[in-house]
Structure formats: C-alpha cells, structure tokens
Amino acid sequence: MPYAYDDQNIFAKILRGEIPNKTVVETEHSLAFHDIAPQAPDHILVIPKGAYVCYDHFALEASDAEILDYTRLIGKICADLGVQPGEGGDGFRLIANAGPHGVQEVPHLHVHILAGRVLGPMLTRLR
Ligand code: 5GP
C-alpha cells in the first residue's frame, strides 16, 4: 500500500512557516533545525522538504537530487558539529524512527543527529 502523507503534521507546518523553528541550515531540498526537546547537547532534526513519511518512503521514491542533498547535508552537519570520529571528534548517533514499532511520533521523515555526550546503549532492553 502506498504511503499517505498527512500534510497537517507538525514538520509540514514548520516547512510552510506556520510554526517557528530554530533553523541550523537550509538547502534546496532539506531543512535542519534543533529538536524542541533535546535529548543530548546536540540534537538536530534533518528533514526533506518533500512529502515523505519515513526513511524507506524517501529512499525508494525521492529523486537522486533530493537524496544527494539530504545525505550530504547530514554529513555536513556532523562535520560542522566537529563530531566526526575520523577527524578526531567524539562521534554521534543517527536515528530514523518509522511506524509504530519504530515509535515514530511525527509522520514526516526526520533523522535525529544526537551528539555531545555518551549516548548509552542503542536500545533499551525490554524484559
Ligand atoms: P520521533 O519520535 O517522531 O522520531 O521524533 C519526533 C521529534 O520531534 C521529537 O524528538 C520531538 O521532540 C520533536 N518535535 C516535536 N514537535 C516539535 C516541534 O514543534 N518543533 C521541533 N523543533 N521539534 C519537535
């Protein structure tokens, strides 16, 4: 079943300028802004401007130009934060939640960039 995009989601409203955001950087196809409830010293959300619900939707249906823009922007933000392990930085984590098992709250693709502290285990162990 194809994805149905809800254009009333909060990130769609941010893209339309209906809700303010603290922009980090904007490109032709993507926007990066600070998470409203940061869970690390650096917590940046990166979204495509196109109407993509989650990562697989974007990866399979976005244009090459959108994917290139988005992927390079994530790399550039990591470089700007100075967290690249290959450059002496302390590292980071990328998270892209999708759907109910991924516990995705906002149905517009976003990658979380988290950095600035040790982030702990990848997942909480459920018993
Ligand atoms: P998800 O659980 O969908 O992966 O993450 C959604 C993220 O969006 C959360 O980390 C939450 O704090 C963030 N968020 C929700 N509403 C807003 C908002 O209005 N502005 C910003 N900047 N972040 C938001």
- Span 57-68, pLDDT tens digits: 999 999 999 999
Instruction: Determine the average pLDDT of the residues in 94-109.
Output: 98
Pocket test for ligand 1, best of 24, 53, 103, 105 (most atoms within 8 A of CB): 105
Whole-number percent of the chain with pLDDT over 70? 98
125 C-alpha vs ligand 1 centroid, how far in Å?
Answer: 23
Answering whether pTM is above 0.85, one says: yes
Tokens of 21: 């955001």
Q: How far apart are CA 106 and CA 126, in angstroms?
A: 23
Instruction: Determine the average pLDDT of the residues in 14-31.
Output: 98
Pocket test for ligand 1, best of 6, 10, 22, 26 (most atoms within 8 A of CB): 10
Nearest residue by C-alpha to atom 21 in ligand 1: 36
Tokens of 102: 């991924």
3-state secondary structure of 1: coil
pLDDT in tens, 1-21: 689 999 999 999 999 999 999
